[in-house]
């Protein structure tokens, strides 16, 4: 008994073919959309490559590939559906249709995987951003070293654009030497004292770069001696909230990328639903056209279904096929082949007859 059987008259079949032809062209457009979404995500990730320890390439590449494949598959589908209106033209595609439907089924599964990957990228990204930002802050002062000379500028622009400071917060800058030795007067007692005060000989201060300054602050920015209340008039660092950017840059970038990916994931899910519906329509059209050919009369009614037998039967049938693929050379079932008996008793019971010699 067939799964979800529907009866199609000739006009129903024709209308279904025309509608599917239009829908396939719409799917080509959605395929282009998928491709451009993947490209957009790739560009966004490459823009901030310096701040990530390892670039996340899987998700955008997946979306780009799936988008291009969608265009190709739906282009072919459009051609097939256009020809399905005429039973003679359908004969051309008859043998190709079932493999096409199976391929499209796996392909829509890939779209779903792509959508789910968008939502799961977050953890990888957080780890990558944590390490990337930590390194960027460490190399902030190295503006004279080739390969690292632009990190200061990148970090400053990031902190100003996203209104964030440091990795997790502004205190991260207190643990790093972000002022290069070229600009430190080593004869000054204060500098020497600071360098001696820690094991690694780093010049650490309770100050942050200018790019951490908050735009909403009511007073001019206090970037140095942040934790020293007596250094500034009318200032209490525990109560001061607007002076510096409070958010950490890791958090800010994570939110930015999560927002992009959630939107992309949602669009890809909608495209997936659309593709599944087109695939269902094409399957119905294929089975209806095949039944029409079986009945012989191109104008008669025919049935269309998703599966000819129930799901369990179809699964068993396909499983048997796969099992028997490995048994090409087995001959147990063929009665015409003479199989020598392996029983010793049978051999003994057969009397050995001597052939009489003619005299």
Partner 1 sequence: MVLLKMKFPFQKRVRLAQGLWLLSWVAMFSGAITFAMGVFLKTELHRRSEVMHSMDIHIVPNLLMAVGLASVGINICAGKVCQDSLDPSRFPRWKTFLPPFFCFSVFLTSLLLVAMILSFALQPSLEESLKIGLKNGISFYKDTDTPGRCFQKETIDRLQIEFQCCGNTNYRDWFEVQWISNRYLDFTSKEVKDRVRSNVDGRYLLDGVPFSCCNPASPRPCIQYSLRDNSVHYNYEYQTEELNLYSRGCRQALVSYYMGLMNTIGPCVLFDFLLQMAILVSLRYLQTAMEGVIGQENVEIETEGYILEKGVKETLLETKEKVKRLLQLAQVGDASSTTPGTQPEEEKPATA
CA–CA separation, 115 vs 268, rounded Å? Answer: 6
- Residue from the set 182, 294, 327, 359 that interacts with partner 1 by CB under 8 A: 182
In sequence order, what are the residues at sequence separation of 6 or more whose Cβ sits closer than 8 angstroms to the Cβ of residue 49? 55
DSSP labels for 39-82?
A: HHHHHHHHHTGGG-SS---HHHHHHHHHHHHHHHHHHHHHHHHH
CA atoms within 13 A on the CB side of 202: 14
**Among the residue ranges 120-128, 233-241, 262-270, 284-292, the one whose residues contact partner 1 (CB under 8 A):** 233-241
User: Which residue number, 187 or 343, has a Cβ lying nearer to partner 1?
Assistant: 187
CA–CA separation, 231 vs 217, rounded Å? Answer: 18
Element (H, E) at 302: strand 302-304
User: Which residue number, 75 or 235, has a Cβ lying nearer to partner 1?
Assistant: 235
- Residue from the set 33, 53, 87, 180 that interacts with partner 1 by CB under 8 A: 180
**Is residue 149 a contact point for partner 1 (CB under 8 A)?**
yes
CA atoms within 13 A on the CB side of 116: 6
Residue 7 backbone dihedrals phi, psi, to 5 degrees: -90, 135
User: Which residue number, 234 or 354, has a Cβ lying nearer to partner 1?
Assistant: 234
CB 7 within 8 A of CB 314: no
User: Which residue number, 113 or 145, has a Cβ lying nearer to partner 1?
Assistant: 145
**Among the residue ranges 41-49, 60-68, 145-153, 309-317, the one whose residues contact partner 1 (CB under 8 A):** 145-153
**Is residue 236 a contact point for partner 1 (CB under 8 A)?**
no
How many of the chain's residues bind partner 1 (CB under 8 A)? 31
CA–CA separation, 193 vs 191, rounded Å? Answer: 5
**Is residue 193 a contact point for partner 1 (CB under 8 A)?**
no
CA–CA separation, 238 vs 301, rounded Å? Answer: 81
**Is residue 144 a contact point for partner 1 (CB under 8 A)?**
yes
User: Which residue number, 185 or 332, has a Cβ lying nearer to partner 1?
Assistant: 185
**Is residue 184 a contact point for partner 1 (CB under 8 A)?**
yes
User: Which residue number, 43 or 149, has a Cβ lying nearer to partner 1?
Assistant: 149
Q: How far is the CB of 59 from partner 1 (least distance, A)?
A: 30
> Would you give the binding string for partner 1 spanning residues 287-326, x where CB under 8 A is met?
----------------------------------------
Nearest to 116 by CA among 189, 66, 175: 66
Q: How many Å from the N-terminal Cα to the C-terminal Cα in the chain?
A: 74
User: Which residue number, 113 or 231, has a Cβ lying nearer to partner 1?
Assistant: 231
User: Which residue number, 93 or 162, has a Cβ lying nearer to partner 1?
Assistant: 162
6-8/302-304 β-pairing:
antiparallel
Core vs surface per residue 344-354: b (16+ CB within 10 A) or e: eeeeeeeeeee
CA–CA separation, 112 vs 34, rounded Å? Answer: 12
Q: How far is the CB of 200 from partner 1 (least distance, A)?
A: 20
**Is residue 173 a contact point for partner 1 (CB under 8 A)?**
no
Going by the DSSP 8-state scheme, the letter that residue 340 receives in this structure is: P
**Is residue 157 a contact point for partner 1 (CB under 8 A)?**
yes
**Is residue 209 a contact point for partner 1 (CB under 8 A)?**
yes
Positions in the binding site for partner 1 (CB under 8 A): 143-144, 149, 152-153, 156-157, 160, 178-180, 182-185, 188, 209-211, 213, 215-216, 218-221, 223, 232-235
């Amino acid at each position: 008994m067939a799964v979800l059987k529907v009866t199609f008259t000739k006009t129903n079949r024709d209308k279904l073919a025309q509608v599917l032809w239009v829908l396939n062209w719409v799917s080509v457009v959605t395929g282009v959309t998928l491709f451009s979404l993947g490209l957009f995500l790739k560009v966004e990730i490459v823009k901030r490559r310096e701040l990530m320890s390892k670039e996340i390439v899987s998700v955008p590449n997946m979306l780009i590939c799936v988008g291009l494949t969608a265009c190709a598959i739906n282009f072919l589908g459009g051609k097939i559906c256009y020809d399905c209106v005429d039973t003679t033209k359908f004969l051309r595609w008859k043998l190709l249709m079932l493999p096409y439907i199976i391929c499209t089924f796996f392909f829509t599964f890939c779209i779903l995987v792509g959508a789910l990957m968008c939502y799961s990228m977050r953890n990888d990204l957080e780890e990558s951003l944590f390490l990337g930002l930590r390194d960027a802050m460490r190399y902030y002062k190295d503006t004279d070293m080739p390969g690292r000379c632009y990190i200061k500028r990148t970090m400053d622009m990031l902190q100003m654009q996203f209104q964030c400071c440091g990795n997790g917060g502004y205190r991260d800058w207190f643990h790093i030497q972000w002022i290069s030795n070229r600009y430190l007067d080593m004869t000054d007692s204060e500098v020497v004292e600071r360098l001696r005060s820690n094991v690694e000989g780093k010049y650490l201060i309770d100050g942050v770069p200018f790019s951490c300054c908050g735009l909403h602050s009511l007073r001019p920015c206090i970037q140095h001696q942040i934790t020293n209340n007596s250094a500034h008039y009318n200032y209490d660092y525990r109560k001061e909230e607007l002076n510096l950017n409070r958010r950490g840059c890791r958090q800010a970038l994570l939110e930015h990328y999560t927002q992009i990916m959630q939107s992309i994931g949602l669009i890809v899910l909608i495209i997936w639903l659309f593709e599944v519906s087109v695939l269902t329509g094409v399957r119905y059209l294929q089975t209806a056209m095949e039944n029409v050919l079986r009945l012989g009369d191109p104008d008669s009614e025919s049935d269309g279904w998703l599966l000819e037998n129930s799901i369990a039967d179809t699964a068993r049938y396909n499983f048997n096929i796969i099992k028997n693929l490995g048994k090409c050379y087995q001959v147990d079932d063929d009665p015409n082949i003479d199989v020598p008996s392996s029983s010793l008793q049978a051999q003994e019971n057969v009397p050995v007859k001597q052939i009489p010699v003619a005299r």
